[in-house]
């Protein structure tokens, strides 16, 4: 029998589209002794996580918790609980993750109405308004921060259009939560999902979500069973809510520890200070990249500070340079996806990866590689 070698991966500086670097305090929290998933101590930790997530989402929603799965499951839990066969859903698409929303709509047996915008551009509210004139959707879904392009989408106007049409407003905040302001209640968001591995800077494996009372009423009044047993909110709610918790699944206890400590770090820094850090360091990176001849994909007013999408200048070998950054400098940046493959780099400044030191290391390494004879 061959025994696998002891784990000893190289330390990396994670500056891609996620995951981001994890603070030592979060890693230490994961080594906290294991307790049961229904232990009163763990229930208290769950309640504290819920309250911190409410503050981060800026919501009062009771049904706010972390799904025991990655951000993609956060997306799926929203769609499978809020849509039934025959429902109509408007989905705004300007990148990879809008397309994934469309896939979820179709798998729910609902009718999909797409509103498209070019990759690298925001969704035009006028296009959403036009689509809503010809349908009666149950929900309107949009990505707040499109990870494949670096677009930060304004939400308030589209949210108002959704409500005027009698629809729920569903938002993907996977790459925005913890890096830019997300105001769920103020912006009229009915359901939202995110992931722990981006600007929250916890390991991947949990999906923060929140549903307001309007969304919960839709859930309660379903005519059919939710197609996924594991993601059925009617079952999960009793595990995360109420005085007496009912077993649904064995929660990833160590991951909840990690999220608890990552959220504590966020609030120790302060939300406004954290958002300002992401903005300020994005601008520093922007200025230096432009000096090196890089052009940003997204117009300035729609740029996501935590994910910088830049066109690769002519003459630079995409895969070769990214591999050298990884092998020689232990720096990871992201390749382009879809139509942007081979043409764009996605450089993350997320959470613990958003520091002066990360920027200085990347710029120094890039200059060395680009200017060598």
Higher pLDDT, 313 or 373: 313
Q: How do residues 70-122 score in pLDDT, each as one tens digit?
A: 999 999 999 999 999 999 999 999 999 999 999 999 999 999 999 999 999 99
pLDDT, tens digit, 9 for 90 and up, residues 138-171: 999 999 999 999 999 999 999 999 999 999 999 9
Give the mean pLDDT of 254-262: 98
User: What's the mean pLDDT when you consider all of the chain?
Assistant: 97
Residue 264 has pLDDT above 50, yes or no: yes
**With contact defined as beta carbons under 8 Å apart, do 355 and 281 qualify?**
yes
The reported pLDDT for the residue numbered 372 is 81
Whether residue 319 is predicted with pLDDT greater than 70 in this model: the reply is yes
- pLDDT over 90 (residue 35): yes
CB 307 within 8 A of CB 15: no
Tell me if 334 sits within 8 A of 183, measured CB to CB.
Answer: no
Assess whether the previous peptide bond of 19 is cis (omega < 30° from 0).
Answer: yes
pLDDT digits (tens, 9 = 90+) for 278-308: 999 999 999 999 999 999 999 999 999 999 9
Mean of the pLDDT values across residues 313-332? 96
Average pLDDT value for residue range 324-329: 98
Cα separation, 89 vs 308, whole angstroms: 30
Taking residues 163-185, what's their average pLDDT? 98
Please report the domains of the chain, with CATH numbers, ordered by start residue.
13-18+270-371 (3.90.1150.10), 25-266 (3.40.640.10)
Give burial (CB, 10 Å; 0-12/13-18/19+) of 120: buried
Structure tokens at 334: 């992201």
Residue 373 reports pLDDT greater than 60:
no
Residue 40, C-beta contacts closer than 8 angstroms, at least 6 positions apart: none
Q: What is the pLDDT of residue 228?
A: 96
Q: What is the mean pLDDT of residues 204-221?
A: 97
């Amino acid at each position: 029998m061959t025994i696998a070698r002891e784990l000893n991966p190289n330390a990396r500086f994670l500056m891609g589209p996620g995951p981001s670097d994890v603070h030592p305090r979060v890693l230490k929290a994961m080594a906290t002794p294991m307790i049961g998933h229904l232990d009163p101590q763990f229930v208290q930790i769950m309640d504290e996580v819920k309250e911190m997530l409410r503050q981060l989402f800026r919501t009062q929603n009771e049904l706010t918790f972390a799904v025991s799965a990655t951000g993609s499951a956060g997306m799926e839990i929203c769609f499978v609980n809020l849509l039934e066969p025959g429902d109509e859903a408007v989905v705004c698409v300007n990148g990879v993750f809008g397309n994934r929303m469309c896939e979820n709509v179709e798998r729910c047996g609902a009718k999909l109405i797409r509103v498209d915008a070019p990759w690298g551009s925001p969704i035009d509210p006028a296009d959403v308004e036009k689509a809503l004139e010809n349908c009666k959707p149950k929900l309107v879904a949009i990505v707040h921060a499109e990870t494949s392009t670096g677009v930060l989408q304004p939400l308030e106007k589209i949210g108002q259009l959704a409500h005027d049409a009698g629809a729920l407003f569903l938002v993907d905040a996977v790459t925005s939560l913890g890096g830019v302001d997300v105001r769920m209640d103020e912006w009229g968001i009915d359901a939202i999902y995110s992931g722990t591995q981006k600007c929250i800077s916890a390991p991947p494996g949990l999906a923060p979500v929140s549903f307001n009372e309007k969304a919960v009423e839709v859930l309660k009044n379903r005519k059919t069973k939710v197609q996924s047993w594991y993601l059925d909110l009617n079952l999960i709610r009793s595990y995360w809510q109420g005085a007496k918790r009912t077993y649904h699944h064995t929660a990833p206890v160590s991951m909840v520890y990690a999220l608890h400590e990552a959220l504590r770090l966020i609030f120790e820094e302060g939300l406004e200070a954290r958002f300002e850090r992401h903005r300020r360091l994005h601008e520093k990176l922007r200025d230096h990249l432009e000096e090196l001849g890089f052009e940003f994909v997204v117009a300035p007013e729609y740029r996501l500070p935590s994910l910088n999408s830049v066109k690769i200048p002519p003459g630079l070998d995409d895969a070769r340079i990214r591999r050298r950054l990884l092998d020689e400098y232990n720096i990871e940046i992201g390749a382009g996806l879809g139509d942007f493959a081979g043409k764009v780099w996605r450089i993350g400044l997320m959470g613990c990866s958003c520091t002066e030191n990360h920027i200085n290391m990347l710029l120094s390494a890039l200059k060395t590689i680009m200017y060598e004879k």
